[in-house]
Amino acid sequence: MKKSDTAEKRYYTISEVSRMTGLEQYVLRYWEKEFPTLKPRKNRGGNRLYTTRDIDEVNRIAHLRKDEGLTIAGARARLTMRRPSEEKTEMIKKAKVHTILSQIKKDVEDVLKLFS
């Protein structure tokens, strides 16, 4: 396995993030417009480059939308409002764990492809 394929990868494409999070690419692009906290970089070709911090933000949004049942506006408000630091820290920890699990899932899928 190449070093660029390890969990220490710096940037992820939208297709990789889609696979890791289980969200469609159009949802990720839409969320960029709706959530000012989600701003992946773009390369010269215009392709989105997500960092693990961006993926954590995607996971936070997904949690608020799916698990807490918030609307886009409600999720946006929740992300931008000030929260007690303990609650905010817990939310960040959960999102990071979800990101790591997503990366492991992607890596396992890649290994399985090699053997199929």
Bridge partners (DSSP) of residue 41 are 49
Quick one: pLDDT at residue 83? 60
CATH for 3-109?
Answer: 1.10.1660.10
The DSSP code for 67 is I
CA-CA distance, 9 to 7, in Å (whole number)?
Answer: 5
Determine what percent of the chain is predicted with pLDDT higher than 70: 87
Q: Where are the domains of the chain?
A: 3-109
Give Cα 91 to chain centroid, integer Å.
Answer: 14
Interior/surface letters 20-45, b for 16+ CB within 10 angstroms, e for the rest? bbebeeebbeebbeebeebebeeeee
For residue 69, give the 3-state DSSP assignment: coil
25-66 tens-digit pLDDT: 999 999 999 999 899 999 999 999 999 999 999 999 999 999
User: Is the pLDDT assigned to residue 6 strictly greater than 50?
Assistant: no
